[in-house]
Homo-oligomer: A and B are copies of this chain.
Amino acid sequence: MDNQFTNAERAEVLTAALPYIKKYNGKTVVIKYGGNAMINEQLKQQVMEDIVLLWLIGVKVVLVHGGGPEISETMKKLGKQAVFLDGLRVTDKETVDIVQMVLAGKINKTLVNLIQMKGGHAVGISGIDGGIIEAKMKNEALGYVGEITKVRTQPITDLLEKNYIPVVSTVASDRQGNTYNINGDTAAAFLAGALGAERLIMMTDIAGILMDKDDPSTLIGNITVSEARKLYENNVISGGMIPKVDCCIEALEHGVNNVVIMDGRIPHSILMELLTDEGAGTMVMKG
């Protein structure tokens, strides 16, 4: 399919990307990677290509990943029964061990491996390494679900300085050494804030914020925090969208310049967002 472009057309497209490359050169961009873009093998390959491209043109990319359905799958294989409390999964010691194993052992290293294959240099770490994320128990009944109490970005900036792409699993520990499962979106928002990132990109399985959630043509391109808050009130932002938008607002308050909720199902959506004039999904801005 690539052959449909002439060299002249290619050169033209590259040149058109010039102002965007200039804009992000040397800046930190945190990408929260999850959902379908993580399950579909072809999309996964493309996301990794996009990340290596950004890295090569001088963007400091930090990849924060969740676990997707692999955690549930492994739990099932291990005969571990899922228990829910008010709709939330109860995470006992055994469960958090499985989460750690799948996130930091399986998914993390698979992503690092893919980035290396595409020519990037990646080092996979977790919130435990170098004490990046400190957490505490949120709710005793839910067990080892962590609430972030402190973020130390030094190990991440050390890796960026040595020109690696840090790939971060969202498990953390408390001062006693207990480990916790941390919500990926929240972790990405905290890290982006603490890093003073230029942009946080949240990859999801939806097009962005829709005025009518059943009509993709009602996509909101840009929205300020105060506008978003109004949409909470009249239920335009509802259900699973609420914690996602909450994270966006939190990241903005912690110092990120802007946040984008992006449809990870579209091929190369990261590049489209960062290096073209149209962008993708909904951008949430201060104000």
Residue numbers in B under 8 Å from A266 (CB-CB):
8
* Cα(A269)–Cα(B12), bound, Å: 10
Contact bitstring A264-280, B, C-beta under 8 A = 1, else 0: 00111101100110101
CB-defined interface of A42-70 with B at 8 Å, one 1/0 digit per residue? Answer: 00001001101100111000000000000
The residue from B50, B77, B104 contacting A109, defined by CB atoms under 8 A apart: B104
Interface string of A3-20 (1 = CB under 8 A from B): 001011111111111110
Stretch in A126-134, A199-207, A212-220 touching the partner: A126-134
In the assembled complex, A93 has its CB within 8 A of some CB on chain B: no
Give the number of copies in the complex.
6
User: What is the total number of residues of chain A having a CB less than 8 Å from a CB of chain B?
Assistant: 78
Cβ A116 vs Cβ B101 within 8 A: no
**Residues of A with Cβ closer than 8 Å to B?**
1-2, 5, 7-19, 21-22, 25, 46, 49-50, 52-53, 56-58, 74, 77-79, 97, 100-106, 108-109, 112-114, 116-119, 121-126, 128-131, 155, 158, 162, 164, 171, 173, 175-177, 179, 266-269, 271-272, 275-276, 278, 280
